[in-house]
Structure 1
Amino acid sequence: MTAVASLLDELRAAREYTNGLLDHVPDGDWYRMPAEGVTHIAWQVGHLAWAELGLCLVRVCGMSPEEISLLPKHYGELFGKGSVPRTEDDRHPEPAELRAAADRVHAAALEAVSQLDDSVLDEPAGPPHLMFTSKREALRWCAHHELTHTGQIILLRRLLGHTARR
C-alpha cells in the first residue's frame, strides 16, 4: 500500500466514524448548546468541513481558496479557526446542507489527495502550523483533527441525552 493510500484510509475512517454518530442526531439538536458546553454539533460539522478544505485542498494539494467553490464564503466566519459557535445566526445552514457541504469537501479532498504521488508527501505544507510541517503530517493531522472534534460531538450527544452508542 502506498503512503497516500494509507493516509486516505485514515481520512475515510475518521469521516465514517463521525458520520455514524451524526446519523443519530435529530435536526433539532444540531444548534442546541447545552448549559455545560460552549459549542454545538452544527459548529463541529461546519468546522470539520472548513478545516478539511484548508488542510487537504489548500495546504496539501496547493489549490487557492479562490478557486474552491465547495463552501459558501461565510462558512469561514461561522466555522473557521477562531470563530465562536452561536445558536442564532440567520446565515446558519440547515443540518442537511451542512452534511452535504462536509460531504462535498470530503469527496473533493479524497479525489485530490488520491492524485498525489508519495514523493510529494515530505514537501512543506504551506505556512507554519503548530501540528505539522509536511504534507504527510498535514494529512495525518486532518484525520486526527476530525477525531478530536468527533470526541466533542460524542460529548454533546451525551449532554443532549443521547446514548453513547452510534
Structure 2
Amino acid sequence: MSKIEFLKEQMIEARAFVKRLMSELPEDLWYVIPEGTDSNFIWQVGHLLVSQNFHTMTAVTGVNKKVGELLPIKEYNRIFNGMGTMHRSIEKDMIPVLKLKEEFEIVHQICISSLETLNDDILSDCLEPLPFKHPVAEVKYEALAWSFKHEMWHSAEMEAIKRDLGYPIVWMKQEI
C-alpha cells in the first residue's frame, strides 16, 4: 500500500466515525451549546468541512476551484475557521443542517478524488503557498496526515457535545 493510499484510507475511516456521530444526534439539537462548553455540533461539522478542504487540498494541491463553485467556501472559512477564535458556534438556521451535511459530503468526495490523482513522490514537497503559516505542517505528508488526526480530535469534542445533550457515547462499530 502506498502512503497516499494509507492517508486516503485513514481519512475515509475518520469520516465514517464522524458520520456515525452525526447520525446519533437529532438535527434540532445541532445548534444547542451545552452548558459549560463553547461550541455546538453544527460548528464542529462546518469546521471539519473547511479544515479538510484546507489540509487536504489547499495546502497540498492549491485552491480547488470546484469547491468554490459548489459552496461558499470563503464565507465558510470565515465562519468555521477556528484558529484562535473564541466563538465556536453558529446561530440556529444560519446554515441549515441538511445543506451543511450535503456540502460536508461534497468536500469530502472532492478531497478523496484529489488524493487519487497524487502519488507518494509529492509527499516530501513543501506546502503550496498559503496566506498564513500552516499550524502543524511544513510538507504535504504532514498536512495530509493532520487532516484525519484533526478530524478525530474534533470527533472527541462532538462526542462530548452529544453526551452533554443527553445522547450517550456509543463505542460499537456501526455501518453508516
Normalised TM-score (structure 2): 0.86
The answer (yes or no) to whether the contact 1:124–1:133 under 8 Å persists in 2 is yes
Instruction: Give 2:174's aligned residue.
Output: none
The answer to whether the 8 A contact 2:43-2:90 is kept is no
Contact 1:58-1:64 within 8 A present in 2 as well: yes
1:19-30 aligned at under 5 Å gives the runs 19-30=19-30
Is residue 85 of structure 1 aligned with residue 88 of structure 2?
yes
Partners of 2:134 and 2:6 in 1: how far apart? 22
Instruction: Call closer, same or farther: CA 1:56–1:152 in 2, change over 3 Å.
Output: same
For residues 113-152 of structure 1, what are the structure 2 equivalents within 5 Å?
A: 113-126=115-128, 127=130, 128-152=133-157
Q: CA deviation digits over 1:114-165, x for unaligned, max 9?
A: 1001100110123432311111110000000001110000000010000101
Q: Is the 8 A contact 1:33 1:87 kept in 2?
A: no
1:46 matched to which residue of 2?
A: 46
Q: Secondary structure at the match of 1:74?
A: helix
Count the aligned residue pairs: 165
Residue in structure 2 matched with residue 112 of structure 1 by the alignment: 114
Q: Can you give the 5+ residue segments of structure 1 that lack an aligned partner in the other structure?
A: none
Q: 1:25 to 1:89 in 2, by over 3 A?
A: closer
Matched residues in 2 for 1:27 and 1:118: separation?
39
Counterpart for residue 165 of structure 1:
170
The runs of 5 or more residues in structure 2 that have no matched partner are 172-176
Contact 2:67 2:110 in 1 (8 A): no
TM-score in terms of structure 1 length: 0.91
Distance 1:45 1:14 in 2: 13
How far apart in 2 are the matches of 1:74 and 1:111?
A: 23
- Distance in 2, Cα, partners of 1:18 & 1:139: 17
Q: Percent identity?
A: 26
Cα distance per residue 1:63-93 (max 9 Å; x no partner): 3569733431321222113442344266x21
Contact in 1 for aligned 2:46/2:100 (Cα 8 Å): yes
Report the RMSD for the aligned CA atoms in angstroms. Answer: 1.9
| 2:3 aligned with 1:3 | yes
Paired with 2:67 and 2:101, the residues of 1 have a C-alpha distance of: 21
Distance 2:165 2:67 in 1: 38
